Structure 1
C-alpha cells in the first residue's frame, strides 16, 4: 500500500513499504492539465528528475510500537558503566526510528477511522509510555553518549507530544469520550514538562515554534542517518552518447567532403563560386548535425533506463541493493490498459501531458542490519516547476445571498492526477490514484480517489 500526503507547500511525499521481497517496481504517472502545455521543451524530463524527484530508502519493520532493537539497546545501555560501546549510537537510533515510524503510523490509522475506539487509544498510550520509560531509565555513563541520548529523548518527547495533540485536535470524540481527549492532552503536557525539567531546550527555543520545529527537524535527521541508505548515482549512456556524437560527425563530415570534391570538379579552380558552395555546405552541416544526433539519441534511449543507483549501508559500507530509473513523457494511447482505466474516471482527459517515472529495484535482505528484513521508500515530488507555468490570475464569481448579490474573488486552481502502480516480486499489483489540487504557489489539497 502506498501513502501520499502533502510534504510542504510545493511538494508531496509518497511512502511505500517494500516488504521482505527482493524485487520491486514502481510506476508513477503524473497527469498535467493540457491547458498548461507542458512538454519536453517547456520542462525537459531530466530537469524535472533532477529538481523535482527526491528518493530515499531506509530500514523498516512491520512490528508496530515494538522496536526490534529494544532488548539489544537495553543490554548495551547497562554495559556503559566502564567503556563506551561504539554501536550504541546505532542501537539507540534504531530504537528511536522504529518508535517514531510506528507512532506516526498508528496516529494515521486512528485518524482514518470514522469513529473513536477507546481500546486502540488506550493501547497506544500504554505502549508509548512503556517504550519511553525503557529509554529513559538506561542513560549511558559516557558523556559523549549521554549527549546523544539527550538528543534522542528530546526529539521523541516532542514528537510524542505533537502526535497526541494532533489526535486530540482532529479525532471526532463523542460527548462520552471527552475523557480520552483529556487524557491525550494530559500526556502531551507531561512530555512538555519532562523536557522543561531536563532543560533540553532554552527558553528562547521553547517560546518560538519555528525555532523548535527547525531544531527537531535536525534531530530527526540525526536519528534517521544510521538507518538511511547511502545512494550512489550513475547516469547511463554517457559513453554511448559520445560515440554517437563522433559517429554522426564522421558521417556528416564524409558527406560534406564528398560534395566539396564534386563541386571542385564541376567548378574547376578555386573561385568565388567554389567558396560560396563550400560555405553553404558547411552551414548545412552545422544546421543538420545537432538535429540528427538528437533524434538518433532519443531513438536509441527510448524505453531504456536513464539512471542506475547503488544503495549502501552507512554502517558497514556494504552494497545492499541497486535500482534503475526511467522518466519520459507519454501519450494517453500509449499507456497500459490498467493505467488508462485508473485515470479515466468519468471522462478521459486526452489533452493532458503525462509524465511517467519508473523505478525498478533489487535489494539484498541478507546484508541488512540484524533484525531488519524490510525497507521503506520515500519519494518527494516537488511541483514547483509545474507551478511556475500556471496562471496566477483571479476572477470574480457572483452568488446570491437572499436578495443580495455578492462578489467572490476566486483564484485559478488546477487538478493534477497521480496514478501509482506498485508491482512486487511475486507479481502482485496495486494501483492507486490521487487528485492533487494546486494553484500557482501552493498545494491546496491531496485526496485519494476511488
Structure 2
C-alpha cells in the first residue's frame, strides 16, 4: 500500500492519510488544477481563508493493530502498572476504535450495490460485537482504574450504536436482507440495554438528546487525552508584513515630497493652481500606496510558508514536532518540473486552462522517543470541496433520444474534473509523485481515481513500505498480535 492514502471521506470531501516516526522530515505538496470554467480564482476565493475554513487536520499517536490497549496483559507484573500507563493504552484503543468504525461506516455508506452493502454491514456488525466483547473481557477490578474503563466503555457503546443506526437510516431497501437488518438492530438494542444495566447515564440524560450528545462529546475529549496532539498555530510574516507596509509608505512619501517641492518651486505663493496640484498629488498617493504595498508583499511572500504549527504531547507538554504550511494560488511556471511533466502527459481533452491552488505541509518530528507504547504519529488532513461547489453551475442540459418514432428527453448534470498532483519528499530522498482525478458536481464528489504517471517519474505507490489504515480488525487478528497473559 502507498505511504500516503488519498480517498473520499464524505459527499464533498476527501482525506489524505499518512504516518511519521521519530526523526522523520517529510514534506507533502498538493497541486489542485481547477478548470477555468469552474469559476474558482484568486479574486473570489482567498487561499488562506479556504485553508482555515475547509482544511481540517487531525494528528494523533498511532499504533499498528487494536490490540495494544487490551492493557492488563501489557505489563509483566502488578508493580509495573500505573494508572497513567493504563489510561494511555486505554485511550489509544478507544480512540483508534472510534476512528476505525467511523472510517468503515463512511465507506460503507457510499456503497450503492445492495448485495455488497448488506454483506459489508453484516461483517461490520460481527467485528464490532467481537471487539467490544474482548475489550470488556479485560475490565479491571481496581477502583482507580475502573473509572477510566467506564468512560471508554460508555462512549464506545454509544458511538457504535449511533454509527450503525445512521447506516440503517440510509440503507437501501431490500426485503431479502431483513435478517441482516435485524442483526444490526439487535446489536444496537443490546448496547442500549448494556448501558442501562451499567447505569452509565441518568434517566434525565437519556431523555434529552442534547444532554446525551454533549456528554458524549465530553467523554470523547477525555478519551483523546494523551492521544491527540495539542496544536499551537502561529501566523508567519506578521512583522515582515508591517516592515513591507512601512517601506511602501516611505517610498510613496519620498515621491510625494519631491513632487510637492517641485510644485512649490513652479507655483510661487499659495494659489488655486498650487492647491489643486497638491490635491492631485495626495490623491495619487492614496491610489498607489496600497497597490505598491500589495505588490511588494506578494513578491516577498512568494514561496514562503504562511503558518507554523507546533505539536505537543498533551501529557508531558513537550514539543514532539513542528510543521510549516503553505497555501496560495500559483502560476504554471512556478510548478516543479516533474509536476509540469506529469500534466503534459494528460489526454488532449483534459488540457484545459486552470487555476492552480497549492497546499503544502512540511513536518519535522523530534528525534526523542514518544511516550511508552507509542511509535508513530498519524496525520489525517480533510479537504472539503464545498467552497468550490458554490461556484459551479447546475446542470440544465438535456439529452434527447428517439425510440419507435417517439422522442424523449433526460436531464443531465454538469460535471467538473479536478486534477490533483501530490508530491512527497521525505528526509533526503528524491521526491515521488501521484496524480488523481477528482470528478464532482455541485452536490457531491462523484469519483476519485488515481492516474498513471510517466515512466520516468517516481511513483509514491512504488514505495515498498506499507501504510496500515484505520480499519476495524477481526478478533482473530487481535488474538494473534496480542495474547492476553494473566497479571
SS at match of 1:329: strand
Runs of 5+ consecutive residues of structure 1 not aligned to the other structure: 116-120, 171-177
The answer (yes or no) to whether the contact 1:78–1:140 under 8 Å persists in 2 is no
The answer (yes or no) to whether the contact 2:9–2:107 under 8 Å persists in 1 is no
Once the two structures are TM-superposed, the CA of residue 446 in structure 1 deviates from its matched residue by 3.2
Q: 1:126 to 1:282 in 2, by over 3 A?
A: closer
Segment of structure 1 superposing worse, 22-31 or 250-259: 250-259
Partner Cα distance (1:209, 1:160) in 2: 16
Q: Does 1:226 align with 2:226?
A: yes
Partner Cα distance (1:249, 1:164) in 2: 62
Aligned to 2:194: 197
Equivalenced residues, count: 429
The answer (yes or no) to whether the contact 2:26–2:424 under 8 Å persists in 1 is yes
Per-residue Cα deviation, 1:226-282 (whole angstroms, up to 9, x for no partner): 311111111111111111211221221122112111211111111111111111111
Per-residue Cα deviation, 1:167-224 (whole angstroms, up to 9, x for no partner): xx99xxxxxxx9xx98998698457524423326799999999999998676555433
Once the two structures are TM-superposed, the CA of residue 131 in structure 1 deviates from its matched residue by 7.1
Q: Alignment partner for residue 45 of structure 1, among 26, 44, 47?
A: 47
Aligned to 1:268: 268
Per-residue Cα deviation, 1:298-331 (whole angstroms, up to 9, x for no partner): 1111111111111111111111111111112223
Aligned to 1:24: 26
Aligned to 2:88: 90
Runs of 5+ consecutive residues of structure 2 not aligned to the other structure: 117-121, 172-176, 452-487
| TM-score normalised to structure 1 length | 0.79
Once the two structures are TM-superposed, the CA of residue 36 in structure 1 deviates from its matched residue by 2.5
Segment of structure 1 superposing worse, 195-204 or 279-288: 195-204
Q: 1:410 to 1:240 in 2, by over 3 A?
A: same
Higher relative contact order (CA 8 A, sep 6+): 2
Once the two structures are TM-superposed, the CA of residue 94 in structure 1 deviates from its matched residue by 1.3
Q: Does 1:388 align with 2:390?
A: yes
Partner Cα distance (1:428, 1:97) in 2: 34
SS at match of 1:282: helix
Once the two structures are TM-superposed, the CA of residue 423 in structure 1 deviates from its matched residue by 2.0
Q: 1:384 to 1:208 in 2, by over 3 A?
A: farther
Partner Cα distance (1:30, 1:352) in 2: 9
Aligned to 2:473: none
SS at match of 1:303: coil
The answer (yes or no) to whether the contact 1:324–1:359 under 8 Å persists in 2 is yes
SS at match of 1:411: coil
Segment of structure 1 superposing worse, 383-392 or 352-361: 383-392
Partner Cα distance (2:128, 2:429) in 1: 36
Segment of structure 1 superposing worse, 296-305 or 383-392: 383-392
Aligned to 1:300: 300
The answer (yes or no) to whether the contact 1:421–1:431 under 8 Å persists in 2 is yes
Cα RMSD (Å) of the superposition? 4.4
Segment of structure 1 superposing worse, 44-53 or 229-238: 44-53
SS at match of 2:382: strand
Partner Cα distance (1:134, 1:416) in 2: 43
The answer (yes or no) to whether the contact 1:413–1:439 under 8 Å persists in 2 is yes
Aligned to 1:175: none
Segment of structure 1 superposing worse, 191-200 or 266-275: 191-200
Once the two structures are TM-superposed, the CA of residue 10 in structure 1 deviates from its matched residue by 3.3
The answer (yes or no) to whether the contact 2:139–2:149 under 8 Å persists in 1 is no
Q: How does 1:158-169 map to 2 (within 5 A)?
A: none
Q: Does 1:137 align with 2:138?
A: yes
Q: 1:365 to 1:4 in 2, by over 3 A?
A: same
Once the two structures are TM-superposed, the CA of residue 39 in structure 1 deviates from its matched residue by 2.1
The answer (yes or no) to whether the contact 2:128–2:160 under 8 Å persists in 1 is no
Q: Alignment partner for residue 368 of structure 1, among 367, 370, 374?
A: 370
Q: 1:446 to 1:313 in 2, by over 3 A?
A: farther
The answer (yes or no) to whether the contact 2:67–2:93 under 8 Å persists in 1 is no
Partner Cα distance (2:430, 2:87) in 1: 38
Partner Cα distance (1:73, 1:285) in 2: 75
Partner Cα distance (2:217, 2:449) in 1: 27
The answer (yes or no) to whether the contact 1:434–1:446 under 8 Å persists in 2 is no
| TM-score normalised to structure 2 length | 0.73
